[in-house]
């Protein structure tokens, strides 16, 4: 169709993508002079009522969605000359997330969380509009030249209230490597189904591989139904434990154990970067989960599974009979190999060759073995085991030695964030008059570049005089109202509040953490930060989208909403690299309606103020 002009307006210039249902062309819009992408239903499907219906559903879905992290839709039509239904979309310069993973392999935790957070923002918005995507995968996430993620292809999206089901064995809806268990069974989907697929996609970003592979789509779908994913930290030990926990929770087989909303998962992803050793996302599975799972399988799936498994058992039986010379009484015995000192990946391969399985008991700090290598094993090498036995291993997470960052010239808040990132403790704080602005750090011990270990104490000297400062009160365990009132009565002018998901059994609206720590001597202009338990963020939301120029690498970006009390509620925080006009988009939630001033901070400095209207969604 290259060279054809649809409805006298859209000239198709180049084929840029193809799928099972449609082709995508780069096109020229003569009415606007812009380059656009045009998705055209394939000719062989134009007389198929089901494909026409699905294509029309996509057209309807994309026209109702408008979000910075969703590929924008401009027009839909049906060409009079060719009879081809088409959708006109934003042309995104760049590539897919799948291309990026193929190019770079495993992405850094910060990059992966940044991309996943943008996709989750898009999903939160789509779910709020009643649309379930149902095919979240790296091939459907576009990455612009500036690093912005845009979710595309709502070709099999459905209304959240839709109940149409598809038999799992014949026509699986969704890409099999990322499909949720309920989709594989043919059950009704929900927002949690998209969250599962997004978690599998994040798994691939963090490890460079999908959790389930197989010889065919049926084998892979059965693994989604029956097998738990190997925690990504076991594949890539450099992933923060908390981040691995978020992925495992998002990809839980039982949908009720996953995050209820995309926003909940996005919030935990950002928290995992701030609290890499936190246990807030640990998944405690019900004891009876395994007994319940078979009851939820559809009859068709059970029949399919039985057929596949019988075939597998038959093949295994024939192979083992041949290899063992018809010996049915005893399992083969093997010598346990040496796994200590090998990488986890190499250890798994070696164990598999010898007829064993590998299970990770724990990760520990080690100065002898680099991160990812086996520190110890049970049973030890040379022992005799039977085919299928499990070798339990302990894996090194590294030496825990890092290099002391430079705190000189930074504010107390910036220093506290760095210390938390390096798992360091604040030691003694002294004040001295200097040429530095008041509140900035003028000296530190240990000095920058010194080798440090987790929980080391860092002493700092701050420009100013201690006499003019205020002793920071204890905010932990106070209610929200008590903490804010205490901060104001103590004389502090700036208070930030972060709402975090409570641990199981914890009380709502109670301060869990604070910065600076209690009894710390600080000026009245020092920023007081409070982390408060709150599950329900509010009925009022605002979609916020801005572009920022970032001049230095790894700059923290924070957006807050200013309340009438003068307290600022943190709506968004992330870390961005160097670049001009970098997009930041998210949905913020409050318990109060109306217009609010939102303040944008880059590297701890205010750079912009905008007004956002928080309305009922």
- Concatenate the DSSP letters of all residues of 93-112 into one string: PEEEHHHHHHHHSSPPHHHH
Contact 40, 18 (CB under 8 A): no
| Widest distance between CA atoms in the chain | 88
pLDDT of amino acid 401: 59
Mean pLDDT of 35-61: 82
Which of 193, 264, 260, 199 minimizes the C-alpha distance to 231? 199
pLDDT > 70? residue 156: no
The whole-angstrom distance between residue 179's C-alpha and the CA centroid of its chain comes to 17
346 three-state secondary structure:
helix
**Averaged pLDDT of the chain:** 82
The SS3 of residue 15 is strand
Q: Measured on CA atoms in the order 400, 401, 402, 408, is the torsion positive or negative?
A: positive
Q: CB-based contacts of 186: which residues, under 8 Å, 6+ apart?
A: 165, 166, 167, 168, 298, 300, 301
| Tens of pLDDT, residues 414-441 | 787 778 767 788 888 888 888 887 778 9
Q: Is the peptide bond before 350 cis (omega within 30 degrees of 0)?
A: no
Instruction: Assess contact for 351 and 336: CB atoms under 8 A.
Output: no
pLDDT at 335 over 80: yes
> Is the pLDDT higher at 224 or at 295?
224
What does the pLDDT average to over 306-313? 46
The confidence band for 399, taking pLDDT boundaries of 50, 70 and 90, is low
**CA–CA separation, 494 and 452 (whole Å):** 32
Kindly tell me if the per-residue pLDDT of 201 is higher than 90. Answer: yes
Strand partners, 586: 544
Burial of 120 (0-12, 13-18, 19+ CB in 10 A): buried
Q: Is 287 exposed, middle or buried (0-12, 13-18, 19+ CB in 10 A)?
A: exposed
Q: Kindly report, residue by residue over 374-388, the tens digit of the pLDDT.
A: 999 999 888 888 888
Listed in sequence order, the residues at least 6 apart from 435 whose beta carbon sits closer than 8 Å to its beta carbon are none
Q: Give the pairing type, strands 540-550 and 401-403.
A: unpaired
Instruction: Average the pLDDT over 162-183 and give the result.
Output: 58
Confidence band of 467 (pLDDT split at 50, 70, 90): low
For 333, the token pair is: 């015995």
Contacts of 318 by beta carbon, 8 Å cutoff, 6+ apart: none
| Least confident piece of the model among 12-16, 208-212, 344-348, 473-477 | 344-348
Q: What's the token pair of residue 94?
A: 């760049």
Domains of the chain: 5-90 (3.30.200.20), 97-297 (1.10.510.10), 540-616 (2.60.40.10)
Three-class SS of residue 285? coil
The answer on pLDDT for 172 being more than 50 is: no
pLDDT at residue 470 tops 60: yes
pLDDT value at position 586?
A: 87
Q: What is the pLDDT of residue 288?
A: 40
By the 10 Å C-beta count (0-12 exposed, 13-18 middle, 19+ buried), 585 is classed as buried
Per-residue pLDDT tens for 247-285? 999 999 999 999 999 999 999 999 998 888 888 898 764
Q: Is the pLDDT of residue 170 over 80?
A: no
CB atoms within 10 A of CB 299: 8
**Residue 398 backbone class (left: φ over 0; alpha: ψ -120 to 50; beta: rest):** left
Provide the token pair at 394.
């302990």
* pLDDT surpasses 60 at 465: yes
For every residue of 212-233, DSSP letters joined together read: ---SSHHHHHHHHHH-PPPPHH
User: Is the link from the previous residue into 53 a cis peptide, with omega within 30 of 0?
Assistant: no
The model's pLDDT over 238-256, given as tens digits with 9 standing for 90+, comes to 899 999 999 999 999 999 9
Q: Which of the residues 75, 135, 194, 268 is marked catalytic?
A: 135
- pTM, two decimal places: 0.50
Q: How far apart are CA 495 and CA 525, in angstroms?
A: 10
Question: Residue 135 catalytic?
Answer: yes
pLDDT score at 533: 92
Sign of CA dihedral 269, 271, 275, 278: negative
Going by C-alpha positions, the residue among 615, 610, 584 that lies closest to residue 117 is 584
Residue 47: phi, psi to the nearest 5? -105, 5
DSSP state of 289: H
């Amino acid at each position: 169709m290259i060279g054809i002009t649809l409805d006298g307006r859209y000239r198709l210039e180049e084929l840029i993508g193809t799928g099972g249902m449609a082709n995508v062309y780069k096109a020229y819009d003569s009415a606007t002079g812009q380059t656009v992408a045009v998705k055209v239903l394939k000719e062989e499907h134009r007389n198929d009522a089901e494909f026409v219906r699905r294509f029309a559903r996509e057209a309807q879905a994309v026209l109702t969605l408008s979000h910075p992290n969703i590929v924008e839709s401009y027009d839909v039509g049906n060409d009079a000359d060719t009879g081809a239904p088409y959708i006109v979309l934003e042309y995104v310069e760049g590539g897919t997330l799948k291309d990026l993973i193929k190019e770079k392999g495993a992405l850094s935790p910060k990059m992966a969380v940044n991309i996943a957070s943008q996709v989750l923002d898009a999903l939160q918005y789509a779910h709020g509009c009643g649309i379930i995507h149902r095919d979240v995968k790296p091939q459907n996430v576009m990455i612009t030249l500036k690093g912005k993620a845009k979710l595309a292809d709502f070709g099999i999206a459905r209304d959240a209230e839709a109940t149409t089901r598809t038999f799992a064995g014949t026509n699986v809806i969704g890409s099999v490597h990322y499909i949720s268990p309920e989709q594989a069974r043919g059950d009704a989907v929900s927002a949690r189904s998209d969250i599962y697929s997004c978690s599998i996609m994040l798994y691939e970003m963090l490890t460079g591989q999908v959790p389930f592979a197989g010889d065919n789509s049926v084998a892979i779908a059965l693994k989604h139904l029956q097998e738990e994913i190997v925690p990504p930290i076991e594949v890539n030990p450099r992933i923060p434990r908390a981040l691995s926990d978020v992925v495992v929770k998002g990809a839980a087989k039982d949908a009720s154990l996953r995050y209820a909303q995309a926003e909940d998962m996005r919030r935990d992803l950002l928290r995992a970067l701030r609290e890499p050793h936190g246990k807030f996302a640990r998944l405690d599975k019900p004891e009876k989960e395994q007994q319940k799972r078979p009851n939820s399988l559809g009859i068709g799936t059970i029949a399919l599974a039985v057929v596949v498994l019988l075939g597998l058992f038959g093949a295994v039986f024939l192979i083992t009979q041949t290899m063992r010379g018809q010996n049915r009484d005893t399992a083969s015995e093997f010598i346990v190999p040496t796994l200590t000192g090998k990488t986890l990946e190499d250890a798994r391969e070696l164990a598999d060759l010898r007829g064993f399985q590998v299970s990770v008991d724990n990760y520990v700090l080690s100065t002898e073995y680099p991160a990812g290598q086996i520190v110890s094993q049970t049973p030890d090498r040379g022992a005799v085991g039977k085919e299928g036995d499990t070798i339990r291993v302990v894996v090194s997470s590294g030496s825990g030695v890092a290099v002391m960052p430079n705190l000189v010239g930074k504010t107390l808040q910036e220093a506290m964030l760095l210390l938390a990132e390096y798992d360091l403790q604040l030691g003694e704080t002294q004040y001295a008059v200097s040429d530095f602005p008041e509140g900035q750090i003028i000296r530190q011990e240990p000095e920058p570049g010194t080798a440090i270990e987790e929980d080391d104490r860092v002493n700092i000297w701050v420009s100013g005089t201690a006499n003019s400062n205020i002793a920071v009160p204890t905010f932990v365990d106070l209610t929200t109202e008590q903490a804010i009132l205490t901060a104001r009565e103590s004389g502090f002018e700036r208070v930030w509040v972060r709402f975090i998901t409570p641990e199981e059994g914890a009380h709502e609206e109670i301060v869990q953490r604070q910065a600076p720590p209690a009894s710390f001597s600080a000026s009245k202009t020092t920023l007081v930060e409070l982390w408060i338990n709150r599950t329900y963020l509010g009925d009022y939301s605002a979609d916020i989208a801005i572009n920022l120029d970032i001049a230095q690498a790894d700059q923290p970006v924070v957006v807050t909403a200013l309340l009438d009390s003068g307290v600022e509620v943190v709506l968004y925080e992330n870390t961005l690299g160097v670049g001009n006009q970098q997009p930041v988009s998210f949905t913020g939630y409050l318990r109060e309606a109306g217009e609010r001033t939102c303040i944008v901070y880059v590297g701890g400095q205010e750079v912009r103020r905008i007004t956002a209207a928080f309305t009922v969604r």
